[in-house]
Every structure is written in structure tokens, then in C-alpha cells.
Structure 1
Amino acid sequence: MGPPGPAGVAGLPGATGPAGVATGITGPAGPTGVAGPAGVTGATGVTGAAGPAGGPTGATGPTGATGVAGPAGATGATGAIGPAGATGATGTAGGILNFADFFALMPPDNAATVAPGTDVSFPQDGPTSGSSITRTSPSSFNLAAIGTYQILFQCSVTEAGQLILTLNGADLAYTVVGRATGTSQMLGMALVQTTVINSILTVRNPAGNSTALTMTPVAGGTRSVSAHLVITQFA
């Protein structure tokens, strides 16, 4: 067989074939694209109804440590006065706190006359109770405690004259007793209040009087006549 000959001239185009199927089969999904930018936030929705209550309240936790005390607050206004309390029981009645009796016997005591401005001696000690009334000399007496004392004194004297109590050297003008005539005793009684401890009391022939007083011995008979100074502390 010999070699092929040259190609012939192209023939005329054939008629157009019928149209193919319009839509092809869907291809597989492509990969996810890059996320776009966030959109604008939408308006807040309506609040939903309250949900049901939760479970029961839990147990109380342990008390915490006490904190540092704060500064004191301002003083509050004074409250109203409360009602009066019940009356207390009546206390025990008061009584004599101390007493002492000092005396003289004529003769032999007060052998010399008692000149104006000098004191009557009561050199002997009678009954006593307590320790706040003592003598400092035959004619002066110490009242140790501040308080109220009843003073009683009596003396038999021969002359008309006066007697007065002194306290710490000062005349107690409300205690003067006197006698113009006769031979009766001079009797004195007064309450004396002390304002300092260890006050000194005396019975004195007042200064300025002209008559020295004789403490009458054996007045009215043969026995020695007594003179007394009785001091009683009540308060």
C-alpha cells in the first residue's frame, strides 16, 4: 500500500446539535469564607419574666473577726429623768458616840481662887466612853473629833460672879452663866459644835470681870463639895 495522500479540503459545517441540559449538577460546597465584620448591635430586647426562685438560703457563715473600734461618737442628749426609786429602809437610830466626866473636890482641888481670865480645874477623871474626849491639863479638855457636843458644868462658888465656856481660847458668848447673890451653885449647859479636830474646851472666869472666884470647900456641911464638867458627843 502506498503512503496516505494529503488531507482534503474541509467540508461545510454541520447543523447545530440540540441544547444540552440547562443546569448542571451542583458541585460540592466550597470552603468557608473569611468572617465578615460584626454587624451593628441590635436594640435590647424586652426583659423576660422572672425565673423561679432559687434553692433554700444557705447556712450562715462563721462570724468574722471583730473590726477595730471606731472613734467615739458625740455624746447624746440627756435622757428624761427616771421615776423615783423605792424608799430605802430606815437607818438605825443615832445615839451617844462618846462621853466623859471630869470633876474636882473642894478641898483639896481649886485651893486657890480662880482669877478673871483663868480656867476652873477639874483634875479628876470620872466615867468615860470612847477616846475622842480627853484632858490636856487639869483645866483644859481635848475634843478630838469634829462634831456636836453637849457640855454640862456645875460649880459651888462663894462670890457673885460668872463662868463661860471657851473653845480654842475664844469665849462662847452664848454659854455665860452667873449669880448675883447667894450661895447656890452655878450651872451651865450648852451645845458646842467643833469645826476642826483637837479643839480645846475650858470653863473660865471671864476676862474683864473684877471678882476672883472661890470654889467653896465643904459648902453646906462637912464633906468635900464636887464640881463637874460632863462632855457628851452626839454627832
Structure 2
Amino acid sequence: MSPAIKKRCKKKPIIVCHPKGKKKKRHPHKKHVCIKCPPLNGQELLRGLGGAIAEAGPQGLAGALGPQGLTGLVGAIGALGPEGLAGALGPQGAAGLAGAIGALGPQGLAGALGTQGVAGLVGAIGSLGPEGLAGALGPQGLAGLAGAIGAAGVTGLTGATGPAGPAGPAGPAGPTGGVLGFADFFALMPPDNAATVAPNTDVSFPQDGPISGTAITRLNASSFNLAAIGTYQVLFQVNVNEAGQLLLTLNGADLAYTVVGRATGTSQIVGMALVQTTVINSVLTVRNPAGNAAALTITPLAGGTRSDSAHLVIMQIA
């Protein structure tokens, strides 16, 4: 027996069980019994084998290799050990390829109408469209006013007296024809109309031209009397420096249909109209209308060295 085994199997007092069940202590010097030794661990087993080999003498030849024994049964799987600590997070892998686009799903229900957005900026004005078709020809306008009566022609030679014919029956008296009366009133610049003509002020025509009878006469430098009830043709022309307007008044009231004017200071203001009176001794004037901004300056020496004339011509035609 190896020393290691001997050391493990010491003589000890033992208890021997007699058949009758009595227990009796025995001392080791009286009886030596070797109790069953506990199993050796790996190192003790190797030391023991080494000692036994040393005691046994020289090693003999190795015997032939015996047949391999049967594979032992697989042991039961042991209990699952505790979970280890989580390892560090590895680097992010490369992005995978994009998958194919899936089929279009069914249309969803229409959402509620959102609030109206703010108005967008006004877009640029588009290009001019093509010219439209010409419209239908409008109705013919009213006939213009009759022009002024021309001067009388030269009297022809007196023809030879023919034989007297038989007297015819007397016919009814016809209406009086031609101009029933006329008058021309004028101003020279300079010296007449020295001051400007303010709005709601009459132009002066202080000098008399040809006049027939007493149907049309002067009341003062800017007012003229129409004695008979009838129709009068009135013409006037005035040179002024400013853009402006002129009209006729009858008995102090503006005759709106007689307004004439110009937008620039490069031409005369010329007017022509028919005026009907309903009472005797009606008063006629030429006026710078009320409400206009500019006072009018009657132009002196217009276009030359001679005094420039402004005229008011009145003819009774009915």
C-alpha cells in the first residue's frame, strides 16, 4: 500500500455491531480494522500510482491496446448558468438595399377641408390678347349746327326790262326769311380786358362792330340784351394764355350745352350755339365757369405786333 493511502487509512477505534444489537467500543490496539477510505482526488491518485509503480519495480512492456469501450451515456444538461453582462454595442451595419415599392393601396377617405390659406401674390399682367373683331357700325350722329351765313355776293348787272306780264292773283304772305337782326361786339388786347377773368366772371367785349336795328344791344362791357323772343345764333372766340373753359349764360344761368375749352395754352377757345329766349329782354354773357381753378388771361399781341381781337357775334334767325 502506498504511503499516501496508508496515511489516509489510519487505525481508529471502531464500533462493532454485534448480532444482538449491543454496541461495544473497541480500542484499536485490540483490533485493527481499516475503514473504507474516501475517494482520492486527481493529484493524490497520480502520486499513489507513482508510488506503486516505484515499489513494483521496472516497468514492463506496454500491453496491446485494448478495444475501445462503448461511448458513455450523454450526461444530463446542466442547469442554465446566470446571464452574462451585455456586451458593448457593435458598430452600425451598412444600410440595406431599398426594398421594391409596394403596390398602391386603396384610396383613403377624404380629409376634412383645411382652412383657406393666405392670398398669393398678384401675378404679372399677361400679354395683350389679339385684337377683337370690329363691332357693328353705330347709328349716324346728329347733323351739325348750321355754319355762319357767308358775305353777300357782288350785285349782278341789271338786265333789260321785259314786257309786263298779266297780273296774277295775290298769294298769302309768307314767313320772313334770312337774318332778322345781328350785332358784333369785340375787344382788343391791349388795351381791353387788362385784368384776368376770374372763375364765375364774364369776359368783356367793350367795343361795337356792325349792328342792325335795336333787337340786339349792349347793356355794359360784358352783358348784351336780346329784346325779342326768338332763336339766336351766337358765335364767340377768345385767345387766352391758360388751359381753360368758357360758356354762355342767359339771364344769369349757365347754358351747360355751350361749354367749350382747351387742355393746353396753344389755341383759341371758340364756341358756337343756338340760344332760344322765352321772355323779352333776355341778357346774354360769355363767362369763365364757376368752379374752375384758373383765372384766364386774355392774350395780348397774339402772334405779332398788332392788338389781338376777341369777338362775340349774335344773329337772330327766328
TM-score over 0.5 for the pair: yes
Residues 74-94 of structure 1: CA deviation (Å, up to 9, x unaligned): xxxxxxxxxxxxxx6572661
Does 2:163 correspond to 1:163?
no
Could you say what the CA RMSD is over the residues aligned between the two structures, in angstroms? 1.2
1:137 alignment counterpart: 220
1:200 alignment counterpart: 283
**Mapped contact 2:237–2:271 kept (Cα < 8 A):** yes
1:212 alignment counterpart: 295
Question: Given residue 271 of structure 2, which amino acid in structure 1 is its aligned partner?
Answer: G
Q: TM-score, normalised on structure 1?
A: 0.61
Does 2:174 correspond to 1:91?
yes
Does 2:314 correspond to 1:231?
yes
Determine the C-alpha separation between the residues in 2 that align with 1:142 and 1:191.
Answer: 16
Determine the C-alpha separation between the residues in 1 that align with 2:193 and 2:265.
Answer: 20
Determine the C-alpha separation between the residues in 2 that align with 1:161 and 1:186.
Answer: 8
SS at match of 1:137: coil
SS at match of 2:201: coil
Structure with the higher strand share, 1 or 2? 1
Determine the C-alpha separation between the residues in 1 that align with 2:239 and 2:185.
Answer: 15
**Mapped contact 1:97–1:130 kept (Cα < 8 A):** no
Determine the C-alpha separation between the residues in 1 that align with 2:176 and 2:219.
Answer: 32
Larger radius of gyration: 2
**Mapped contact 2:251–2:282 kept (Cα < 8 A):** yes
Determine the C-alpha separation between the residues in 2 that align with 1:178 and 1:224.
Answer: 23
1:107 alignment counterpart: 190
Task: Number of aligned residue pairs: give it.
Answer: 148
Determine the C-alpha separation between the residues in 2 that align with 1:101 and 1:92.
Answer: 25
Determine the C-alpha separation between the residues in 2 that align with 1:195 and 1:93.
Answer: 20
SS at match of 1:125: strand
Deviation of the 1:226 alpha carbon: 0.1
1:56 alignment counterpart: none
Gaps of 5+ in 2: 1-170
Question: Given residue 110 of structure 1, which amino acid in structure 2 is its aligned partner?
Answer: N
**4+ residue segments displaced more than 4 Å:** none
Determine the C-alpha separation between the residues in 1 that align with 2:265 and 2:224.
Answer: 30
Deviation of the 1:134 alpha carbon: 0.5
**Mapped contact 1:156–1:183 kept (Cα < 8 A):** no
Residues 53-87 of structure 1: CA deviation (Å, up to 9, x unaligned): xxxxxxxxxxxxxxxxxxxxxxxxxxxxxxxxxxx
Equivalences for 1:1-235 in 2 at 5 Å?
91=174, 94-235=177-318
**Mapped contact 1:162–1:206 kept (Cα < 8 A):** yes
Determine the C-alpha separation between the residues in 2 that align with 1:145 and 1:90.
Answer: 21
Deviation of the 1:182 alpha carbon: 3.2
Question: Percent same amino acid among aligned pairs?
Answer: 81
1:39 alignment counterpart: none
**Mapped contact 2:240–2:265 kept (Cα < 8 A):** no
Deviation of the 1:159 alpha carbon: 0.1
Gaps of 5+ in 1: 1-87
Question: Given residue 290 of structure 2, which amino acid in structure 1 is its aligned partner?
Answer: A
Question: Given residue 164 of structure 1, which amino acid in structure 2 is its aligned partner?
Answer: L
Structure with the higher helix share, 1 or 2? 2
Residues 85-113 of structure 1: CA deviation (Å, up to 9, x unaligned): xxx65726611111000000000000100
**Mapped contact 1:96–1:234 kept (Cα < 8 A):** yes
Residues 5-58 of structure 1: CA deviation (Å, up to 9, x unaligned): xxxxxxxxxxxxxxxxxxxxxxxxxxxxxxxxxxxxxxxxxxxxxxxxxxxxxx
